[in-house]
Chains A and B, each alone.
Chain A
Amino acid sequence: MKFSCGRGAMSITSSSAAWKPTDVVADQFPAGLRVLVVDDDPTCLMILEKMLRTCLYEVTKCNRAETALSILRENKNGFDIVISDVHMPDMDGFKLLEHIGLEMDLPVIMMSADDGKHVVMKGVTHGACDYLIKPVRIEALKNIWQHVVRKRKNEWKDFEQSGSVEEGDRQPKQSEDADYSSSANEGNWRGSKKRKDDEEETDERDDTSTLKKPRVVWSVELHQQFVAAVNQLGIDKAVPKKILELMNVPGLTRENVASHLQKYRLYLRRLSGVSQHQSNLNPPFISPQDSTFGPLSSLNGLDLQALAATGQLPTQSFARLQAAGLGRPTAKSSIPMTLVDQRNIFSFENPKLRFGEGQQQQQHMNNKQQINLLNGIPTNMEPRQLASLQHGGQSIGNMNMQVASHGAQNNQNNSLLMQMGQPQSRGQILGDTTVSHSPRRPSSMGQPILSNGMAANVASRNGIPETIGATSYNPVSQATSTLNFPMNHASELPGNSFPLGSTPGISSFSSKGTFQEDVSSEIKGSGGFMPSYVKFNDLSQHKPQNWELQNVGMTFNFPQHSSSLQSNLMQSVLVQQGSSGQMNGHNRSSAVVSRAMFSAGDIKEHGNAQNVNQHLNNLVDNIIRVKSEGVFDTSPGNLFPVHFGQEDLMGALLKQQDSIAPTENEFDFDGYSKDNIPV
């Protein structure tokens, strides 16, 4: 791979926080690697800095995690890699790791004097790319560049797969320099494009350079697509680039995806965190639909599943979700589903469920359903989740923006999600309101795409809300001051992302250290997330982007529960679950999700109950309660009935519930009632 910093290497001076663009340093790679080292021990910090300098890296040191985060946020492309201590007074190193992974998607190396297997394992599960035992020797630092390369390589590969959007994105991104990845990364990425020749890339770049990143409105469909993509990739590995590729939405940029993803993650986190709270899930803002979001956490779990559903929800993602759901910020991917514009989300449902169902679902899912779902969800997000949402939100935000523009993406998303879920499990339906919308994937997503769906929905929701109705968000959030996110980490709140209401087209969480505020605003909105979702509804039908998850392969391993309806349901359920987040245990989330999805789907199948919402709520509750056994009993009917109308969904969900015996209703979806969310 040639590491040519096409971007001209914006290198950051190490010692001072001043960044000065330097010439391309790619040729001297790994020299010039921009490292951020975080350690509360000044002795270690000093030594590390010196060692890194000796390796010819550009070092920035800081002794507090919060500071590190804000530095990173302010300079999204300013660093290539982060090295962080595990034990820090102001923030746990693993939490920082999560944040960074979510928001910036940078490789993070953990270090500690503690070499216990448990701790090291924790590093692994949290996504650290390496773990160094103190005292650190310079030899260990000399090779850290490999992590940067590896990551870029993987991203590039992902990119390659999808190709189109990415390229388009890259162009603008590059020019805009507002990338989540480091500029070096971009450059390398471009330079090492294996697939195309440089010329080709260049051409594309030229073409796309004119592409102005449109304000993305994260419609339900788009969100669904997003969620589907995330699910397919697996929440752990869902990086913006890959998601973008999977989504294959023209005009959607990686940044859009990244911010949306951030929000989504935060949302999920919130969900899982909320589950602990279990309360305040019903943010007033849901008023439009009166949906009471179930425990976010459960939703989280679901989302996670959906997200992680790239075929199988990685246990660890789930674990994370669950943790998140449980209020443990382990899950990086708490997707701030809540933000999803309910309407939009539901609009996802409306659109044809892509799940194998084909178009039938579409009608079923109406936005309302989605909305309801969404509404419920955000409220329960715990701060953590919120934070994660935020994180996700950032990417999602972007996505939202784009999504919105895409219009009825939601549906597609839903379908996409559904589709995704399909292979895996019904659960995938979960996140995808979009899935429901567009039964794009008629393929049988027999598999419980629910989770995906849900996730997708969530995701889409997240994204959508932001963009769609940024404004709408505001009112909601404010209205829902009931949301009490136990904002433990205010900073984590993706205030930015979700306060979509306020800023339409919230492209990214302006998490520049303003998470706290954002979060609170979000939280206020009871989940601030919800509002965003609501916005989605507005979005509804933009040009139906092809969110289809092209079989993203939702990796939910949900036992084949299926039905697109489920996805829709799941979405709702997911949302609800999110609130109740009961996922305990790593599999829980997945299980829950799948279950929820499943149930949702099943329910849907059974009938497009008019009161899907209500049903859904109930179901969701049940679903959420399902302790992620990971077993979706729901009979997988059609995987995600694309058209879940809210009512339908609910009805289906309910029905499913009934029919689904085994599902352990551990999901406690807070009853969020889904009103018909007008798309």
Chain B
Amino acid sequence: MDRNPLRRQLQIMRKSFFDQGYLDEQFVQLEELQDEANPNFVEEVVTLYYRDSARLILSIEQALERKPFDFNKLDAHMHQFKGSSSSIGAKKVKAESTQFREYCKSRNREGCTRCFQQLKKEYATLRKKLEAYFQLARQAGPMETACRPK
């Protein structure tokens, strides 16, 4: 079949995620958890992440529309969001989260707003990339997806 090319493609794609800083080592941890018992573990986790974090994103958005800003609340939301994002290895998203929290701490309204836009962008970009990745992985065959030489 054309697993090999697909797999190769998959590997290239995967590598680019790391090289471009979209994902970090934590993603590898997830991959290593994937096994025969949970062959789609990584995809499941990522799906869960996007689903769950969507409401956090929404909460933050709403909080940003309120005036004045409730920085504490924003920070709390973002803290949670950051924890989630870091657990799947979403590196850029996590970095933006950290930045956002800094702005919260310094009560920088504009910084928060700007940063949040950036964060959403990264968040969406990653999602697209991962969706493509998983789709490719499914095509390439379950066995090969999470294989990655350490």
Contact = CB atoms under 8 A, between A and B. Distances in A.
Tell whether A pairs with B. yes
B87 A41 contact: yes
Given A50-B33, A50-B41, A135-B26, A43 B84 contact: yes
Interface string B30-71: 101101001001001100110011000000000000000000
Interface in A97-141: 112-114, 134-138
Nearest to A39: B83
Given A50-B33, A135-B26, A44 B79 contact: no
A22 interface: no
Contacts of A50: 33, 38, 41
Given A43-B87, A113-B82, A138 B45 contact: no
- Tell which of B44, B82, B86 has the most Cβ of chain A within 10 Å: B86
A138 B26 contact: no
A662 interface: no
Interface string B110-132: 00000000000000000000000
Contacts of B88: 43, 47
B67 to A, nearest CB: 25
Given A46-B48, A138-B32, A41 B41 contact: no
Given A41-B87, A51-B33, A135-B86, A46 B45 contact: yes
B86 A47 contact: no
B106 interface: no
A138 B52 contact: no
B79 A47 contact: no
Interface residues of B, number: 24
Contacts of B52: 41-43
A85 to B, nearest CB: 8
A277 B15 CA distance: 60
B141 to A, nearest CB: 22
Given A43-B88, A47-B33, A135-B86, A87 B76 contact: yes
Given A47-B45, A87-B76, A135 B87 contact: yes
A134 B29 contact: no
Contacts of B87: 41, 43-44, 47, 134-136
Contacts of B84: 41, 43-44
A54 B38 CA distance: 11
A134 B41 contact: no
Given A46-B45, A134-B87, A135-B87, A113 B33 contact: no
B72 interface: no
Nearest to B52: A42
A138 B80 contact: no
A40 B83 CA distance: 11
Chain A: interface residue count, which band? Answer: 10 to 19
Contacts of A112: 83
Contacts of A47: 29-30, 33, 45, 87-88
Contacts of A114: 79
A54 B26 contact: no
A40 B41 CA distance: 20
A112 to B, nearest CB: 7
B41 A43 contact: no
A51 B34 CA distance: 10
Interface in A63-114: 87, 112-114
Contacts of B29: 47, 51, 135, 137-138
Contacts of A46: 44-45, 48
A635 B79 CA distance: 52
Nearest to A137: B29
B86 A138 contact: no
A43 B48 contact: yes
Given A47-B87, A112-B83, 14 more contacts: A41-B80, A41-B84, A42-B48, A43-B45, A43-B53, A44-B84, A46-B45, A54-B35, A113-B83, A134-B83, A134-B87, A135-B29, A137-B26, A138-B32
Interface of B: 26, 29-30, 32-33, 35, 38, 41, 44-45, 48-49, 52-53, 76, 79-80, 82-84, 86-89
Closest 9 CB pairs of A and B: A113-B83, A43-B49, A135-B87, A135-B86, A135-B26, A50-B33, A44-B87, A43-B84, A134-B83
20 contacts: A40-B80, A42-B48, A42-B52, A43-B53, A43-B88, A44-B84, A46-B45, A51-B29, A54-B35, A87-B79, A87-B83, A113-B83, A113-B86, A134-B83, A134-B86, A135-B26, A135-B29, A135-B83, A135-B87, A136-B87
